[in-house]
Structure 1
């Protein structure tokens, strides 16, 4: 089993960084994705607090696979000037260099009342601007299949990749299709050559009313997604984001890392199963 692929979004397990690190290392994994520490977004930490984060991650022997930003998510409006997005990108790019990663997660902005044509034009312009800035820093933006103009439409995702150029790639989340109303495997097969990073979650329920469950127990076809990825030769990270105890868009923060660890064990089982099938063992 390729345990070197496994990582977890730290604040899905706990609020405090020591507890985030403990949850990941308890699983025996070497990768962590950083989004917030003590409830503060990574880009908003002052330099001294960030230095403590870097030292703690290094001391634990963890590699940072990605930094998850707020750029383009439900907290940012496409109708607002780009300064907040550019400022966050500048800070996170510096922190990427310090942490040894080149990936920054973004989304593609909600409509904020705009007509379709203007929404599209503004998003494509904003992403091109951000991608140019990312190129100056030597980092890569990863657009997630979540909220926003290109969040659930593979054709729009491909247009976004064209607008962003070489510094804009795709992040595929296995579980977002349940909440956003599309089949995960169908979408993955359309965007597969552009996928550089993967989040793993699973869900049940209906669009807009998803409930989150252990990977493999829901309707997101996580096993099939993993099989498609590995058949294509995917070798990037599988970053666990189970949403069992943490759901940032709902203001829910983890108080117990046990659900995260349980989801991690289940992901290991799925990975063993899928890699065995890919190798023709079963």
Structure 2
């Protein structure tokens, strides 16, 4: 039976974990994809510090749906050894958090150059990441994203087919396909469905001349994002297709409606949540 389990990039509510949990409790959401915690990226926490975060979450009944790491969100030309060590640290953090997944990316391609020129290096690095996670109990999830090698469905599938080990799957982000001028349904959905284990929920409109920003979070997002169902991501069609296919897993709200959670993060997050609930109601799906 299909099941959408709600989660959230709660740092879009507030920088502060306690405030994040306050708002999520109001909305009956009890999972968090951890990215920003008390103003610091999750990858920058020590193991002792993350134990404290985990204890605070447990005390209020929250679980980690995934670690929203910045791994792979670096220039493909940068040396890899230090980044691989950072990944191993993130892997240890995920284990301390009892997180089933780590979100990662397939490296930024230099502006103006052809992605295929870096194919072998990308696939080699992705395989090394998968190898490092082998036996950890944590599954890796490649997210489609602008400017990285796996930006369009064809190259996402290429990565997922090439990497061996059975522990690399896909996070599906409709808005990021919109940014790449890719039609989500049926094109991206049909190509990606066999590999998808996790859904990110944000919507957007295509902006041909959008600035190239290589940020690690959601700053400098511009005015291209919309609440779910209000952009060009074909959110209703995509969610209906996943629901009817028997998808069971996380549906993580990542609105990107505000670049400054300190100003209006809770309000914008509530608005995005309401829009998502409206879409789910329209297609006859439920989330909890």
- Same fold by TM-score, threshold 0.5 exceeded? yes
Matched residue, 1:280: none
Q: CA deviation at 1:29?
A: 1.2
Question: Quick one: distance in 2 between partners of 1:109 and 1:34?
Answer: 20
Q: TM-score, normalised by structure 1?
A: 0.88
Within-5 A mapping of 1:210-249: 211-246=224-259
Higher helix share: 1
Matched residue, 1:194: 195
- 1:84 and 1:274, CA in 2 relative to 1: closer, same or farther beyond 3 A? farther
Matched residue, 2:141: 142
Q: CA deviation at 1:204?
A: 2.2
Question: Quick one: distance in 2 between partners of 1:171 and 1:204?
Answer: 20
Unaligned stretches of 5+ residues in structure 1: 247-251, 278-282
Question: Quick one: distance in 2 between partners of 1:24 and 1:100?
Answer: 19
Question: Quick one: distance in 1 between partners of 2:200 and 2:4?
Answer: 15
Q: TM-score, normalised by structure 2?
A: 0.86
Preserved contact between residue 3 and residue 247 of structure 2 (Cα < 8 Å): no
- List per-residue Cα deviations over 1:78-115 (Å, max 9, x = no partner): 11222233222212222222222221111111222665
Matched residue, 1:13: 13
Matched residue, 1:173: 173
Matched position secondary structure for 2:249: coil
Q: CA deviation at 1:3?
A: 8.2
Question: Quick one: distance in 2 between partners of 1:3 and 1:268?
Answer: 14
Within-5 A mapping of 1:257-268: 257-268=266-277
- 1:134 and 1:264, CA in 2 relative to 1: closer, same or farther beyond 3 A? same
Question: Quick one: distance in 2 between partners of 1:3 and 1:141?
Answer: 21
Matched residue, 2:85: 87
Matched residue, 1:57: 57
Matched position secondary structure for 2:105: strand
What is the Cα-based RMSD across aligned positions, in Å?
Answer: 2.1
Which of 171-180 and 82-91 deviates more? 82-91
Q: How many residues are treated as equivalent by the alignment?
A: 268
Question: Quick one: distance in 1 between partners of 2:284 and 2:234?
Answer: 16
- List per-residue Cα deviations over 1:121-177 (Å, max 9, x = no partner): 11011001111001142321111111311111x221122012223111000012112
